[in-house]
Amino acid sequence: MQQQRFPLLGKIFYAFGMMGWSIMINLISVLLVYLYAPPTGSNIPLLISQAVIFGAFNLISLITVSGRLADAFWDPFVAQLSDKSSHKKGRRIPFMRWAIIPSLLFCCGIFFPLQVSISTVNVVWLMFTLALFYIASTSFIIPYNALLPELATTSKEKVELSTWQSLGYVFGIAIASNALNIADSFYHNGIAENRLVSIQYTVIILSVLAALMMALAAFGINEKKYANATPSTISLKVALKQTLQNSNFLKFIVADVAYFIGVTIITSGLLYFVTVLLQLPETIGNKLMITMILVSFIFYPVVNYLSAKVGKKPIVLVSLLILSVVFAGIFFLGNLPMNATLQIYILVIIAAIPVASLNILPVAILAEIIEQDSKHTGVNKEAVYFAVRYFFVKVAQTVGIALFAMLLIYGKDVNNDFGIRLNGLVGFALCCFAAAIFSRFKELPSQ
Give tens-digit pLDDT for 387-428: 788 778 777 877 887 788 788 888 888 888 888 888 889 889
First to last CA, the chain: 14
User: DSSP character for 56?
Assistant: T
156 or 304: which leads in pLDDT: 304
CB 303 within 8 A of CB 360: yes
- In the structure, what pLDDT confidence band is assigned to residue 91 with cuts at 50, 70 and 90? confident
Segment 370-397, tens digit of pLDDT: 778 777 766 666 677 877 887 787 778 7
Q: What is the overall mean pLDDT for the chain? A: 83
- What's the rounded mean pLDDT across residues 37-45? 74
Sign of the C-alpha dihedral, residues 288, 433, 306, 359? negative
**pLDDT over threshold 60, residue 431:** yes
**Please, are residues 303 and 170 in contact by the beta-carbon 8 Å criterion?**
no
377 occurs within a structural domain: yes
415's torsion region: left (phi>0), alpha (psi -120 to 50) or beta? left
pLDDT at 52 over 90: no
Q: Does residue 447 belong to any structural domain of this protein?
A: no
Domain of residue 169, CATH code: 1.20.1250.20
Give the per-residue pLDDT at 169.
87
Per-residue pLDDT tens over the stretch 98-122: 999 999 999 999 999 888 788 889 8
Residue 268 within any structural domain of the chain? yes
Judge whether 446 lies within some domain.
Answer: no
2 domain residue, yes or no? no
Tell me what pLDDT residue 86 has. 75
Q: Is 286's pLDDT higher than 80?
A: no
- Among residues 144, 130, 173, 165, the alpha carbon closest in space to that of 264 is found at 173
What DSSP assignment string belongs to 390-438? HHHHHHHHHHHHHHHHHHGGG--BTTB-HHHHHHHHHHHHHHHHHHHHH
Which residue range is the domain that position 156 belongs to?
8-438
How many angstroms separate the CA atoms of 440 and 437, rounded?
6
**Confidence band of 151 (pLDDT split at 50, 70, 90):** confident
Asked if the structure places residue 1 within a domain, the reply is no
Angle 284-309/247-272 helices, nearest 10 degrees? 160
pLDDT > 50? residue 2: no
Q: What whole-number percentage of the chain has pLDDT above 90?
A: 19
Contact call for residues 143 and 383 (beta carbons, < 8 A):
yes
Query: In sequence order, what are the residues at sequence separation of 6 or more whose Cβ sits closer than 8 angstroms to the Cβ of residue 363?
Result: 145, 148, 158, 162, 165, 166
Domain-embedded: residue 445: no
Query: How many domains in the chain?
Result: 1
Confidence class of residue 318 from pLDDT cuts 50, 70 and 90? very high
Q: From residue 254, how far is each of 77, 146, 261 by CA, in Å? A: 22, 20, 11
What pLDDT is recorded for position 205? 96
